[in-house]
């Protein structure tokens, strides 16, 4: 299987971490593909009309996207029921944590585009501030409400660790650890997992 993208993208990295945690390391090859928000990558556009990374090309030659679908697909292929439990209540708790972490990732990527890619003449400070507020709210929720689900390795905890790693790489100034000691301690341990160490992005 080919995973198109770049580990600097939190969505690509969380897909790759899932592949590793599911024991699919030898079956998933990362195909380097980087994007700019204002340009079409023609090769990727042939695989997905959205032209966003990640995209997975399965062994059957079919493209799958987005990251949530890819992460669920890896669990399916590996027959892994630990990363996304079948059991109703737990299943939806993990998916909600995944949505929270992906929402944090979406806001962090959008803030990166606002502050590093958008031309200075087109800056919109109120929108950037709204994104910062959304990131802070998501972090506070993770700090206060999710310890039990974060304590396990599942799709939600993987996405959370990767989103926090992205904040370290792209938004150091947000100092996300301040006032969030539980989350910081949890991240310290999780980021030492082999799946996280092997997927560290090169800036």
Ligand X SMILES: N[C@@H](CCC(=O)N[C@@H](CS)C(=O)NCC(=O)O)C(=O)O
Binding site for ligand X (CB under 6 A): 9, 11, 35, 37, 52-54, 66-68, 102, 109
CB of residue 15 vs ligand X: minimum separation in angstroms?
8
Could you give the C-alpha distances from 194 to 27, 73, 113, 123, 169, in angstroms and in order?
Answer: 17, 21, 30, 39, 19
Comparing CB distances to ligand X, the nearer of 24 and 184 is 24
Comparing CB distances to ligand X, the nearer of 142 and 180 is 142
Could you give the C-alpha distances from 4 to 30, 37, 130, 180, 203, in angstroms and in order?
Answer: 6, 16, 30, 34, 18
CB of residue 37 vs ligand X: minimum separation in angstroms?
4
Question: Which region, left, alpha or beta, applies to residue 23 given φ > 0 means left and ψ of -120 to 50 means alpha?
Answer: left
Comparing CB distances to ligand X, the nearer of 168 and 188 is 168
* CA–CA distance, 166 with 156 (Å, rounded to integer): 15
- DSSP-derived letter for residue 30 is E
CB of residue 179 vs ligand X: minimum separation in angstroms?
27
CB of residue 181 vs ligand X: minimum separation in angstroms?
28
Comparing CB distances to ligand X, the nearer of 170 and 180 is 170
């Amino acid at each position: 299987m080919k995973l198109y993208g770049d580990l600097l993208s939190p969505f690509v990295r969380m897909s790759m971490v899932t592949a590793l945690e599911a024991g699919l390391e030898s079956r998933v090859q990362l195909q380097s593909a980087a994007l700019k928000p204002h340009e079409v990558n023609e090769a990727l556009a042939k695989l997905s009309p959205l032209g966003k990374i990640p995209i997975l090309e399965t062994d059957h030659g079919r493209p799958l996207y987005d990251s949530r679908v890819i992460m669920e697909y890896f669990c399916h292929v590996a027959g892994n029921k630990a990363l996304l439990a079948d059991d109703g209540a737990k299943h939806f708790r993990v998916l909600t944590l995944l949505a929270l972490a992906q929402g944090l990732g979406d806001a962090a990527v959008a803030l990166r585009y606002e502050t590093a890619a958008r031309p200075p003449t087109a800056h919109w400070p109120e929108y950037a501030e709204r994104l910062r507020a959304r990131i802070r709210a998501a972090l506070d929720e993770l700090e206060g409400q999710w310890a039990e689900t974060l304590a396990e390795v599942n799709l939600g905890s993987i996405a959370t660790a990767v989103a926090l790693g992205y904040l370290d790489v792209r938004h150091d100034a947000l100092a996300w650890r301040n006032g969030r000691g539980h989350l910081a301690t949890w991240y310290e341990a999780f980021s030492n997992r082999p799946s996280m160490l092997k997927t560290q992005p090169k800036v």
